[in-house]
Chains A and B, each alone.
Chain A
Amino acid sequence: MKSLPRRAWQPVIAALVVLTSAIRAQTPPANSAGAALSVSGDIPHALSLTASDLKAMPRTTVTITDQGREVKYTGVLVGDVLAKAGAPLGRALSGPAMATYVVATAKDDYQVVFSLGELDPAFTANDIIVADTVDGQPLFDYQGPFRIVAPHDKRGARSIRMLQRLEVVRLRK
C-alpha cells in the first residue's frame, strides 16, 4: 500500500491538535465530578440536580461588570430550579407564600438569603441564576461547579460561590 506523503498528514495532525486542545479547554474543574445541587425545605419535591440536569434546563446568560470587565455567566434561573421543586411561584406566590425565603449554602458553609419573590421571574426581572459557566467555560474550582449570580446586586456578596444547597423556608403555611 502506498503511504500518503508526509505533507498530506499535516492538516490531519493540525486538526487533531486543535480538537485535543478544544477537548482540554472544555475539561471541567476537578471538583465538578459527581457534584450536585440539592433543593430542600418547604417544597413538595426535594431535588438533587447534577451538572447535566442543569444543562438540560432552559438557559439564561447574564452579564456583570467585574472591576471594569464584562463577564458573562450562563446557567438556569433560580426561579426555574425552585419551580421544578414545586415552590409556590407565579400566581401561587401570594398571601402567606410571600413570607417565604431561600437559604443558599456553599461548600464552605457561607450562606446568603433571598426572598422567594425576588427569585420569581414572574415577579421581578432580577434574572438571578445558578451559573455553571463563565464566559463559555466551566467555573473555576474556587467558584464552582455552581454559583449564584445576582446581576443587579451592587455588591457581589450574595453571588455565592461553590453553591451546594438551596433550602426553601416558609414562615407562614
Chain B
Amino acid sequence: MSRTLLCAALIFVALIAVITSLSAENAFVWNLPGGFPAPRVPVDNPMTTAKVELGRYLFYDTRLSANQQQSCASCHQQERAFTDGRARAVGSTGEMHPRNSMSLVNVAYVGVLTWANPTLTQLEKQALVPMFGTEPIELGLSKPGSVLLERLSRDARYRSMFAAAFPDVSQPVTVENVTKALASFERSIISARSPYDRYRTKRDNDAITPAVRRGESLFYSQPFSCFRCHNGFMLGGATDFEGRSAAGEGGFEFHNTGLYNLEGLLSYPSPNTGVYEATRKPEDVGRFRAPTLRNIAVTGPYMHDGSIATLDGVLDHYAAGGRTILEGPLRGVGHENPNKSRIIRGFTLTADQRADFLAFLNALTDEPLLHDPRFSDPWTKH
C-alpha cells in the first residue's frame, strides 16, 4: 500500500514538473525597455510564446486573404515600421482603403486602434475588420471564415502550432484563435531602440546630435506644442497600459487639425469624416487620433488619408495652423475649420528650427526594429 502511494506521489510530482517546465517554456517574457509600463493584455488572451509565434506565421500568410494575394504584412511591412508606404492602403481585390495604414509598432499600448473609431479598443476584435470587412474589402474573407479554417487545418505546421498555442481545446483552429494569435504577435512588437531612446533612457548624450536636442526642446515648447497630442513614452495619443486610470491620465482624445474645410455639413471629405463616422455628432467631424511619432521618418505618407507626402509638408500644415487647398473639390481653408483643435494655432518656423525638428523626428527611428528577426516573415526561411 505504501509502495503504491509512493509511486502515485512520484508520478504526481513528475507530472507537476513537466507541466511547470512546459508553462515556463511557453511563458512570454516582455523584456520591456526602461520607462515602458506593463501593457494591458486581455484576461482571456494571455501572452505566450506559442501564440506569438503562431500569430507571426499567420500575419505573414497570404492564405488569410480570400484570393491568397495579401497577408496582414502587405499593408504592415516591417521595414516601414509596419506601414506600407502608400498614401492609402490597397486591399487584396484592388480596392483602395480610405485611410493610411497605421503602424503596428508598440500597438500593445494603443487604447483606440484605428484612426477614428473610439469603440475599437481590442486587437482581437480589430483583426476581424481587415479579415471580413467589406467597406472596404481588405483581406476579403467571407464569414464565418470556413475557407480560411479549412486552409489552415490542411497545413500540418498549423495543426501543430494551434495545438501548442491553445492546448486546452480539442479543435483549436478557429477564427477566434486566429485573432488571438494575431493580437499576441502584434502586442509583441515593441520598439524603443532609437537614438532618441538611448539618449532618454540611457543618458547617452552621444546618441543624438545637438540639432536633435534643439528639436526636442522645440517639440516640447509652447509655441509649437507638438507634445500636447504626441506625448509620453509613445509620443502619441490614446496611450493605454496596465493600471492606467482615465481619471489620472485623462480620456483618449481625437483632434481636428484643420486638414480640410469643405463647404457644407461635412467639412472633411467622406468617408473620412473622423470620429463622426462612429458618433454622428457634428462636432466630431475631422477628429482623428494622434498616432505615435516613433519611426515617423519611415512611415510616410502622413495624416489619416496620406494626403501629405513628407514630414516637411506636415510641418508646413501645422505652421499654417491648418491646410489651405485653393482649387478642386477639396478646396477650403483648414485653418478656419469650425471643429479645429484650439491647440492648432499655427506658428512661425525658421529654416534652422525646421532642420532641428526634422533632426528630432529622424532620431525617433528604431533601425534594429525594421530588421528584427523576431518580427520578420517566418515563411521566407522555409
Q: For the complex, is A114 an interface residue (Cβ under 8 Å from B)? A: no
Contacts of A143 in B (CB 8 A): 220
B-contacting residues, A122-173, CB 8 Å? 137, 140-143, 154-155, 161-162
Contact of A141 among B203, B217, B243 (CB under 8 A): B217
* A-contact bits for B181-222, CB 8 A (1 contact / 0 none): 000000000000000000010010100001001101101111
Contact A68-B244, Cβ < 8 Å, known A108-B223, A142-B219, A142-B220: yes
Across the interface, do A68 and B217 meet the contact criterion of CB distance under 8 Å?
no
Give chain B's interface residue range (CB within 8 Å of chain A).
20 to 34
B156 within 8 A of A: no
Contact with B along A92-107 (1 / 0, CB 8 A): 0000000000000011
Is B239 interfacial (CB-CB < 8 Å)?
Answer: yes
A67 within 8 A of B: yes
Shortest B30–chain A CB gap in Å is: 13
Which residues of B216-233 are within 8 A (CB) of A? 216-217, 219-223, 232-233
Chain B CB within 8 A of A27 CB:
yes
Q: Is B249 an interface position by the 8 A CB rule? A: yes
Task: Provide the main secondary structure of the chain A interface.
Answer: loop
A92 to B65 Cα, complex, angstroms: 75
Residue among A66, A67, A155 with most chain B CB within 10 A: A67
- B216 / chain A contacts, CB cutoff of 8 Å: 140-142
Are B205 and A161 in contact (CB-based, < 8 A)?
Answer: no
Q: Does B328 contact A (CB under 8 A)?
A: no
Q: Shortest beta-carbon distance, A90 to chain B, in Å? A: 32
- CA–CA, A30 to B209, complex, Å? 12
Query: How many inter-chain contacts with C-beta < 8 Å in the A-B complex?
Result: 53
> Is residue A6 contacting chain B, with contact meaning CB distance below 8 A?
no
Q: How far is the CB of B199 from chain A (nearest CB, A)?
A: 8
Q: Which one, B203, B205, B222, B232, contacts A67 given CB within 8 A?
A: B232
C-alpha spacing A119/B222, complex, angstroms: 24
B282 partner residues in chain A, CB cutoff 8 A: none
Check A25/B241 contact, CB under 8 A, given A108-B222, A141-B216, A161-B220: no
A interface, CB within 8 angstroms of B? 24-25, 27, 29-31, 65-69, 106-110, 137, 140-143, 154-155, 161-162
CB<8 Å pairs between A and B, sample of 17: A30-B210, A66-B232, A67-B232, A67-B239, A68-B241, A68-B242, A69-B35, A106-B222, A108-B221, A137-B203, A140-B216, A141-B214, A141-B217, A142-B217, A142-B220, A154-B248, A162-B217
